[in-house]
Amino acid sequence: MAENGSYEIDDNLCIEHPPIFLEFKMVLVGCIGTTIALISFIENILVFYTFVHSKVLQRRNLLYLTCLSLCDIFVGVSYIGIMSMQVYADYFRCFTLFELWHEYLRVVFTVSHITLSTASFLIMAAAIERYLQVCSSRISLLGYVCRHRTGIVVGAFLLGLLLRGTVFFEIQIYHVDECEGFASMGVELTALARNRYFDGIWRFWTRKITTVFLPFFVLAYCNAAIVYNLQKSERNRMVRRLILNVTLGPNAEPLRLKSRLKTATRMLIMVVTCYLCANIIDVFIAAWEHIDGESLMQFGEFYTLATDVASLLSVLAASLRLPIYVINDAVIRKEVANVICSLISRLKTYCPLTAILSQSKKKQVNFSTRAETPKAHLIDERITLTDREGRSGIGKLILARASIESNRRHYLTPSASFITTQQSKHTVEDDDNILVTYAND
């Protein structure tokens, strides 16, 4: 009986539990999510490179957006490493990829949580600064915030590292030596994460509140207040523009500053709105987990799909930031275009394939030019020869006629006039025949 019982336990232990909705996950995560993550990765590398190397953009206050693009780069890589690779391993039944995924999961999972929280704090800092600039009259507080942007960025990273760095100690990889294949390893919570006090005090009241609920509601309030203030100030915009044009002229500097402020504010509003839309599912799931976690576990399919969609929306929000920057800000659009053109020119210079193609095109153009040049010389030479021939034939004819006229003056008599006339006619005809023959030769 003991052996049968142990056999039953081992048999149940080695039962593989494949993920639900695997085909749907392959489409949603493996195809759509991976594509969006790759686009987000490329776009944010372009944004980070442009913001760092552009001398024009370095004079503007884009420190938050620069660091945000760096966080989005890690978010895109983490999504592919965590979500996509797991789906590929299960769908294609690749145990090597499945084993590799378990090897790096703890590190990549921790990095993704840290970067997501840091990105939330950076967006919140930018929104609060814009709120103070647009809606508040406390100039001293705004000046303090503007002077300490670097410290705020460092604080956002340290806060994200402190709050989310413990994720590394909350999950672990277990191995079952009695089993083989996909049932031989898996992921589970550690004893620390299952601790009631740690789970209640730290994971929810400390981490969930500060990294999920607080940024969401602070950004929602700041975004609504900024939009309301802009709508309120829009009523008098035309009047102020007319007054400034009349008093200060069309090149009024305050108007240009106001226009740039409005452009930056609109750009930030769109970024915050994308963040709110991407994290609303995460906020809903986090609240449900705390209020009634057991009922949520009864809807396993819904929970799985909700977490997959929430992760996809986070990557989608990161991929939409470059289009938002380009649409709203003409200076950023110009600098990004310059960087793209510079990269294309460098690719043509250093890529062997493009260099060979460009050299072949140049050779074809030079060969066609050289092939057309002798034809032009031949045509010019033919025209020159024809002119010379025409001139020599006409000259001979003129000389022949001149000699005939001189003979007629000195030797012509009335009786011989008919003979002389016939001779002159024959001479002219002979000279014409000579001219035609010379031209033909």
Give the separation between CA 111 and CA 91, rounded to whole angstroms.
25
**289 and 419 housed in the same domain:** no
Domain boundaries, position 392: 352-440
120-171: per-residue pLDDT in tens? 999 999 999 999 988 867 788 889 999 999 999 999 999 999 999 999 999 9
Q: How many domains are there within the chain?
A: 2
- CATH code of 77's domain: 1.20.1070.10
**401 and 286 housed in the same domain:** no
**255 and 358 housed in the same domain:** no
Rg (CA), the chain: 42
Beta carbons of 120 and 276 less than 8 angstroms apart: no
**pLDDT < 50 regions, the chain:** 1-9, 252-255, 257, 365, 367, 372, 375-386, 388-441
pLDDT at residue 238, rounded to an integer? 62
Is 106 part of any domain?
yes
Q: How many residues does the chain have?
A: 441
Beta carbons of 126 and 65 less than 8 angstroms apart: yes
**309 and 370 housed in the same domain:** no
**268 and 122 housed in the same domain:** yes
**124 and 225 housed in the same domain:** yes
pLDDT at residue 175, rounded to an integer? 92
pLDDT at residue 89, rounded to an integer? 96
pLDDT at residue 3, rounded to an integer? 40
Task: Please state the pTM of the whole predicted model.
Answer: 0.76
Other Cβ atoms closer than 10 A to 430? 11
**391 and 330 housed in the same domain:** no
Beta carbons of 145 and 129 less than 8 angstroms apart: yes
Beta carbons of 435 and 397 less than 8 angstroms apart: yes
DSSP code, position 18:
P
Q: Which tokens sit at 416?
A: 């011989």
> Domain ends where: 329, 350, 371?
350
pLDDT at residue 15, rounded to an integer? 81
Task: Report the candidate in 163, 67, 152 with the shortest Cα–Cα distance to residue 110.
Answer: 163
**154 and 49 housed in the same domain:** yes
